[in-house]
Amino acid sequence: MGVKVDIAIIGAGVSGAAIASTLSQYDISVCVLEKSNDISNGASKANSGIVHAGYDAKPGTMMAAFNVQGNAMFSALCERLDVPFTRIGSYVVAFNRDDMKTLEMLKKRGEENGVPDLEILSAKVVHINEPHLNPNIIGALFAPTAAVVSPYELSIAFMEHAIDNGVQLYLQSPVQNIIKENNAYKIITPDKEIQAACVINCAGVYADTIHDMVLPSAFHINARRGEYFLLDKYAGDIVQHIIFQCPSDRGKGVLVTPTAHKNIIIGPNAEDILEREAVETTVEGLSEVWKSALKSSPELPENQIITTFSGIRAEPSSGDFIIRDYIETPGFIDVAGIKSPGLSSAPAFALYVNDLVQKYFGSLKQKENYIQGRRKRIHFHELSHEERREIVKKDPLYGRIICRCENITEGEIVDSIHRFAGARTIDGVKRRARCGGGRCQGGFCGPRIIDILARELNIPKEAVCKDSPESRIIVAETKGNCAL
Amino acid sequence: MKHYDVICIGGGPAGLAAALSARENGAKHVCIIERDIELGGILQQCIHNGFGLQVFKEDLTGPEYAQRFIDRVRASDIEVKTDTMVLEIGKDKLVYTVNTKEGYTVLQAGAIILTMGCRERTRGALVIPGTRPVGVMTAGAAQRLINIEGYMIGKKVVILGSGDIGLIMARRMTLEGAKVLAVAEIMPFSSGLTRNIVQCLDDYDIPLLLQHTVTNIRGKDRVESVEISEVNAHGHPIPGSEKEYICDTLLLSVGLLPEIELPYAAGIVIDKRTRGPRVNESMETSIPGIFICGNVAHVHDLVDYVTEESERAGYYAAQYVLGKLKENNGFCTLAGEGITYIVPQEIRPENCRDTVELFFRVSRVYHNVKLVLRIDDNVVKTYKKRHFAPGEMERIRISRDIIADTESVKLDIEEL
């Protein structure tokens, strides 16, 4: 299959999706190539979900500039795209005088980066506001602009918005090669060739591989794994803010925070790994995370753990984001090394990439029928009595609860399947509608979601996958099955 | 707003028995609300036998056991709402429900009986390291897929946990042509019934590995192998004892937890040990008029015990509606040496019928010991026992007469 587009974006993580969403306002053809079978299936699906305030990165770096600018964009963005987001603020806690000096340094750095309203709190204030923290904490740097967001839902929302505005998404389309031809690039995937004037490399941990298809090798991406615990909402009042410890050369350290969905997330550690998709959890890693988190709050309830997972960050050899074009290859743009604070920075660097694209094409024409927002999702459990009554009258599927932990209705699941960039797998439904994200981890709703996916996608139940196309849940019919 | 004397939330064995008992004991308008499309609860997927030996003196399958109660409910004027979810209950005993036909509806109950059952502990709660491929499933979810939906979920199976569902599923998977390589149990004893170990493992030559646990799960898309390690006396894996089992499925039967979303949200007091709400002799929770029974109160071994407990809850809910339940303070039952918990946690003697039944579990395996019943610190009775195990729920009945004016009842396990 041959396709000709103005812009091809490689990778449907938060970077690629944010850029696709931004570029979807113009009267040009854009496609996104994603190697896996869903959006947000790499680093964007498993991370802390923090929109950082912006005091960590050194002044003058891209990370510093985009983080602070991106943070300021989030409230309006998440409102427009209907993404779970709460500005709960962060504490960096100090245990001794050296830590207090670090807080002073971070505050100064943050102010230099343009972070608003940073404040160093006394022990007394910290312990009044956060009664479950370690009593040995002697102060904290408070950053009121720090926030939590659902990272995969943000990526999915960006992509859905892009598709609503005409962007084409190709899943299961790993890029095998890129050939430069005159004023265009030919991108080879297993089942198609895409000719694009402009290529934007948002390939996460594989961004160096993609770069090297077009240009001489210039940087290397290391995969750094971080492991996490997720706690039940019942543990939700253990902390009110994002609780960091003082950063080290290994990153921002282990945090404890409520998520955008009011669970508690704990993690990550940082371990450099050779295999770029080695997302297993380890005894050592998990115990390191838990021990470290106990230092922040000795009261973390072990019996409220509902799951553990690990995620991969793309750690660039340069130490900073690599977002640029190249004189020798006009139209090829790298968006590489998007480690933390990549999620926080995505809306801002999408604008920067937008400028690079404008520079390349000359001025781009706005679409006439551009859709600003995303069709609002219905969250049945958040509705008032009256709204609940109305919605079930309108669509009875909202009257059937499928996920009893999170009270998610069949209507919400069906909607998550039939939207653009909709769910195709059990994990896809989980990331969009939260079924299986609660304390039973899909024990109850799993079989029912298989039924719904099979029915809505018109596929046999045996073809329903958990995640990858090789992850079928059902292997055969039982011996005497004559039910269907 | 529609009014019922008694609303049972959950139409499994507890809800069925409680509703029938409430109706028979004087509650006029009784309703069962069930989220599934049919009554019977988890019994419907328990197609093996072994149910009813206590209550009916017969050996029934789960669906057969459930049907006896369903038939009685259908023959009565008890109203049944299936495919209906309760979202919330209030102190004022309002019940907020939703279904596809009647929509979002609020019902007023004179008394509520909570009968939602329990749920399974998952991989996440155990913190088993490794990858997260397809093929890791709770035994109950697998049981539903196989027995209700008619689909197999794997061919080479390891089972973690020797609770009854795990044992039953070892046999079920084998009968469906799968190879069950082993059942690993972290404790030095199985928490399942002895008859299940014999009939589900021994009869099929399935090894039961006591003091072993799964320490790693491998596989990218589907489970490719699991690592099983021996554990020491503290339950910690012993380095060097790892053994890899090539398999495509790991079933988990690692404990059940009361499904307490509704009582928790309503502010009902939860007992840390049973992990269900605290109850008194009437199976009444900390909110007067809200009763609870079956596995949502505390996890039982036998459905027969659930039935008996639920009949009691139904009786007292009817008493409450009729204004006959006395809401005075009672005394507490105290779980002493070797006792994990006692249900009920509180007793008001004036509400007791001739006897009151104490359910309890012991904290470890005991041989040749005595159970000592103390009332106000005086030994009233001792029961010699050759064997106690945490997996087996125990019960004793005490006469109302001996607790009429007491301040405490305590159980201890002591050396002979």
Domains B1-120+255-327 and B122-254 share a fold: yes
Q: Average per-residue pLDDT in chain A? A: 95
Domain regions of chain B by residue span: 1-120+255-327, 122-254, 328-416
- In this predicted structure, what is the pLDDT of residue A482? 52
What per-residue confidence (pLDDT) applies to A285? 95
Tokens of A427: 């994990």
Q: What is the mean pLDDT of residues B304-316?
A: 97
Å from A445 to nearest chain B CA?
9
What confidence score (pLDDT) does residue B416 get? 86
Residue B183 has pLDDT above 90, yes or no: yes
State pLDDT tens for residues A428-476. 999 999 988 888 888 888 899 999 999 999 999 999 999 999 999 999 9
Tell me which chain A residues have a C-beta less than 8 angstroms from the C-beta of B130. Answer: 280-281
| 0.90 exceeded by pTM | yes
pLDDT tens-digit map of A266-312: 999 999 998 888 789 999 999 999 999 999 999 999 999 999 999 99
A308 to B133: CB separation less than 8 angstroms, yes or no: no
Determine whether the interchain pair A308/B127 forms a contact, defined as Cβ–Cβ distance below 8 Å. yes
**Enzyme catalytic residues of A:** 52
| Amino acid sitting at position B255 | G
Average pLDDT over residues A414-423: 96
pLDDT in tens, A112-130: 999 999 999 999 999 999 9
Yes or no, beta carbons of B141 and A468 under 8 Å apart: no
Give the Cα separation of A276 and A314 in Å (integer): 9
**B83: closest CA of chain A, how far (Å):** 7
Query: Are A308 and B83 within 8 A, CB to CB?
Result: no
Average pLDDT score over chain B: 95
CA distance B242 to B213: 10
**Stretch (H or E) spanning A283:** helix A283-296
Best mutation target among B105, B127, B260 (most A Cβ atoms within 10 Å) is B127
DSSP per residue, B181-217: EEEEESSSS-SS-HHHIIIIIGGGT--EEETEEEEEE
A246-250, B69-73, B405-409: least confidently modelled range: A246-250
Is B149 at the interface with chain A, CB within 8 A?
A: yes
Q: Is the CATH number of domain B122-254 3.40.30.10?
A: no
Grouping H, G, I as helix, E, B as strand and the rest as coil, residue B173 is: helix
CB B333 within 8 A of CB B358: yes
Rg (CA), chain A: 23
* Per-residue pLDDT at A382 exceeds 70: yes
Binning pLDDT at 50, 70 and 90, where does residue A484 land? very low
Give the burial string for B75-101 (b: 16+ CB within 10 Å, else e): eeebebbebbbbbbbbeebebbbbbbe
Interface of B with A in 260-299 (CB under 8 A): 261, 264
The answer to whether residue B146 neighbours chain A at the CB level (below 8 Å) is yes
B347-363 pLDDT, tens digit each: 999 999 999 999 999 99
Name the minimum distance, in Å, from the CA of B125 to any CA of chain A.
5
Q: Does domain B1-120+255-327 have CATH number 3.50.50.60?
A: yes
Whole-number Cα distances in Å, A351 to A139, B4, B300, B347: 37, 60, 60, 68
Report the residue of chain B nearest A445, measured CA to CA: B141
What span, in angstroms and rounded, lies between the C-alpha atoms of A256 and A304? Answer: 14
Buried/exposed code over B266-293 (b: 16+ C-beta within 10 A; e: otherwise): bebebbebbbbbbbbbbbbbbbebbbbb
Burial class (CB in 10 A: 0-12, 13-18, 19+), B185: buried
Query: Using a CB-CB distance cutoff of 8 angstroms, which residues of chain B are in contact with residue A231?
Result: none
Cα distance between residue B299 and residue B301, in whole Å: 7
Contacts of residue B204, defined as CB under 8 A and 6 or more positions apart, other chains included, come to B170, B171, B174, B180
Please give the Cα distance from A44 to A313 (Å, whole number).
9
Best to test chain A binding among B9, B102, B145, B151 (most A CBs inside 10 Å):
B151
- Structural domains in chain A, sorted by start: 2-44+152-221+318-361 (3.50.50.60), 87-147+222-313 (3.30.9.10), 380-463 (1.10.10)
Please give the pLDDT value at position B124: 84
